Chains A and B, each alone.
Chain A
Amino acid sequence: MTKIAKLEKNLEEQIAQYDANMLFQQSEYDADEAEQGGYSNYSYWRSTWRSFTKNRTAIFFMCVLGVLLLFTLVQPLLPDQKDPTLIFWVDSMPDMNHRPDAQFWFGTNSTGQDLWARIWSGTRTSLAIGIIVGLFDALLGIIIGAIWGYVRKLDRLMTEIYNVIHNIPHSIILILVSYMVKPSVATMIFAMCVTGWLPMSRFVRNQIVIIRDQEYNLASRCLGTPTFRMIMKNLLPYLISVIMLRIALAIPAAIGNEVFLTYIGLGLPVTIPSLGNLINEGRIVMMSASSRYQIVLPSIVLSVITIAFYVIGNAFSDAADPKNHV
């Protein structure tokens, strides 16, 4: 250790800059200066946004998705668009399996319908199903979860119900419900909602229990914080990000479920174009190389949509996790 007997020259020079008398006089004590601790301007949403925007893949997919969604909505309004269920005729025969060209941009399917129109119409249907299922699951999940968490007496009963439903594989319940009701958009949504609310409700219930029992909330309550404010500040921000995540993931899940059900034969009737139907129709003719486009094109659209939602949903969930807010 450097033992300093005399001050270094450097310091002496610094001291010389000032009036020596002033230097060694006692200073005034300023209480405000004493409280100079680090100030944290941490804002949850701002940090979430910053984390999210740093993820270039997510931003890329958001743009892609944005364009795609916009297009799906706008497509029917564009000029020269054909009706998705209309059968086109050529020489008194349906114009079946017409390969993509200037007349039919995506070609026609084995019934003679325009694939381009069908794909976009199907996308609209599937997206609608996905969004509605997601929203509904979220809503139902929150309500049930809130009741489950709040009313202590119901906890045991609800936990048992949860366990029972949780133990039965999703696909089975899905199949069962679809088997029993007539296939249509409404019933499909219903079938998917039957179990979709489960994870959400469990999550909400856990959060409520945390709000009740965690020490930082006990401390809050001791200080007189009203429950409402605690819910708003502690539960809600986290809840909103989870809801958004679930809706984002619900869409690929719904599309997947729809494809699954159609495959089994419990899907939507052929009159309502949906991505599931299209995949199925394409599958039937897939073996002949010339009509492969009927499976490839819908698959590409479907894949882009599902991947985009999945990536965005996960990226958002990572960004919203406070542990990642360095």
Chain B
Amino acid sequence: MENDNILSVKNLEVKFNLRGQVLTAIRGISLDLYKGESLAIVGESGSGKSVFTKTFMGMLDQNGSVTAGEILYKGMDLAKFKSEKEWLRIRGKEIAMVFQDPMTSLNPLKPVGKQIQEALEMHQRLKGKAARKRTIEILNDVGIPLPEMRYKQYPHEFSGGMRQRAVIATAIACRPNILICDEPTTALDVTIQAQIIELLRGLQKKYDLTIVYITHDLGVVAKVAERIAVMYAGDIIEIGTCNEIFYHAQHPYTWALLSSLPQLGVKGELLYSIKGTPPNLFKEIKGDAFAPRNPKALNIDFLIRPPYFQVSPTHFAKTWLLDPRAPRIDPPGTIKRLQDKWKEIKPNA
């Protein structure tokens, strides 16, 4: 993996003003994004995944703001950007985003081709016939058949999968360096999901993209991600390569997440679900945010917020269980099975 930082987030804090109260959505995240990688950000609804990536493009809602930290990109600190002019240098051109619902992402009253062409004309300095030609090429690239005909059609004439392809085409047309995909397959059929994932992988190779996937679906993650960041309550509590997270998870929340995946072929076991609810982000959180829901929590989890503990040069987790003074805790059954499985795959690891 190249150690080439393309985006570096340091201690980012994001707060929202809601009904007179302040909600801390992002509580101090630090993250490095490497050029050309696929990073997946996993977490439940409300963990802050979307908010986090929106800060890279200045797409936070009106009542939200970055209150601390830095977002370093190409020598600029995006967290300090205030004016639209500054963001217009970034949006599309450097960082592009694909939203979850392709139907609502497209203007229903404009032909699809025109919407893609708009991005081209803005970022590639192509006009008229040249732009149209390139648009049709891009439509081809993303796997839409009969692109000349599709160019003139309206969004509601496309099927769900094709719409998402069109949306991806629009994002690609901008030739960004970083592509953020916010739940790109959640609104699609399972069979179409696989196609879209394949498409994104192909495009990544072809255009040398860095892709950030946001998803709550670990199955999708397994297919696409090189690295996985697990988010909970506005913080990244564990990050590592795909194998490390699946086979060597260290944080109790990651354990719980992996355990709640229904396993094919394990009969008779009750479906596991994490007890309790995510914490109230209006209140200040003391210690580890996951502690109240963690039956195996230590006392210190409630008092002091854990720092990143290093498990390997690429694997970090924010849990006191990794402190040498902590007792040895057995991970739950599913995790043990995964660890054993790893030993089968790589007996020398």
Q: A-side interface residues toward B, CB under 8 Å?
A: 1-5, 7-8, 11, 14-15, 18, 20, 22-27, 29-31, 33-39, 325-326
Q: Which residue of B lies closest to A18 (CB)?
A: B303
**Residue of chain B at shortest CB distance from A326:** B19
Q: Is the CB of B276 within 8 A of A25?
A: no
Instruction: Say how far A1's CB is from chain B's closest CB, in angstroms.
Output: 5
Residues in chain B near residue A4, CB distance under 8 A: 307-310, 316
| Interface status of B90 (Cβ within 8 A of chain A) | no
Which residues on B sit within 8 Å (CB–CB) of A24?
Answer: 298-300, 320, 323, 325-327
Contact with A along B298-342 (1 / 0, CB 8 A): 111111100111100100100010010111010000000000000
Query: Which of A5, A14, A23: most chain B CB closer than 10 A?
Result: A23
- 23 residue pairs from A and B, CB less than 8 Å apart: A1-B32, A2-B308, A3-B316, A4-B308, A5-B310, A7-B323, A14-B304, A23-B299, A24-B298, A24-B299, A24-B320, A24-B325, A25-B327, A27-B291, A27-B297, A27-B301, A34-B293, A36-B279, A37-B277, A37-B278, A37-B279, A39-B280, A326-B19
B59 contacts chain A at the CB level, 8 A cutoff = no
Q: Which A residue's beta carbon lies closest to that of B31? A: A1
Write out the residue numbers on chain B whose beta carbons fall within 8 Å of the beta carbon of A15.
300, 304
User: Can you name the residue of chain A whose Cβ is closest to the Cβ of B291?
Assistant: A27
Q: Interface on chain A toward B: helix, strand, loop, or mixed SS?
A: loop
Known pairs A26-B296, A34-B293, A38-B281; list 19 more (Cβ under 8 Å).
A1-B32, A1-B308, A1-B316, A3-B313, A4-B316, A8-B307, A15-B304, A18-B303, A24-B298, A24-B300, A24-B327, A26-B329, A27-B297, A27-B299, A33-B292, A34-B277, A37-B277, A37-B278, A325-B19
Q: How many residues of B contact A (CB 8 A)?
A: 40
CB pair A35 B276 closer than 8 Å:
yes
The residues of B that contact A11 with a CB separation of less than 8 Å are 304, 307
Q: What CA separation (Å) do A207 and B15 show in the bound complex?
A: 37
Cβ contacts under 8 Å, A3 to chain B: 308, 310, 313, 316
B295 at the interface (CB under 8 A from A): yes
B residues 200-230 touching A (CB-CB < 8 Å):
none
CB-based contact B280/A36 at 8 Å = yes
Tell me if B282 is interfacial: C-beta within 8 Å of chain A: yes
Cα–Cα distance between A2 and B239 once the two chains are bound (Å):
13
Residue of B nearest to A37 (CB): B277
Shortest A45–chain B CB gap in Å is: 15
B18 within 8 A of A: yes
- Nearest residue, chain A, Cβ from B11: A2
B275 CB within 8 Å of chain A: yes
B276 near A36 (CB under 8 angstroms)?
A: yes
Kindly state the separation between the CA atoms of A36 and B30 in the bound complex, as whole angstroms. Answer: 26
Alpha-carbon distance between A20 and B323 when the two chains are bound, in angstroms: 12
Contact of B63 with A by CB under 8 A: yes
- Contacts A1-B32, A326-B63 known; A31 to B277 CB distance under 8 Å? no
CB-CB under 8 A from A39, the residues of chain B are 280
Q: Closest residue of chain B to A39, judged by CB?
A: B280
Q: From residue A41, how far is it (CB to closest CB) to chain B in Å? A: 10
Chain A positions within 8 Å of B301 at CB level: 27
Closest to A7 in B: B307
Cα A35 to Cα B277 in complex, Å, equals 5
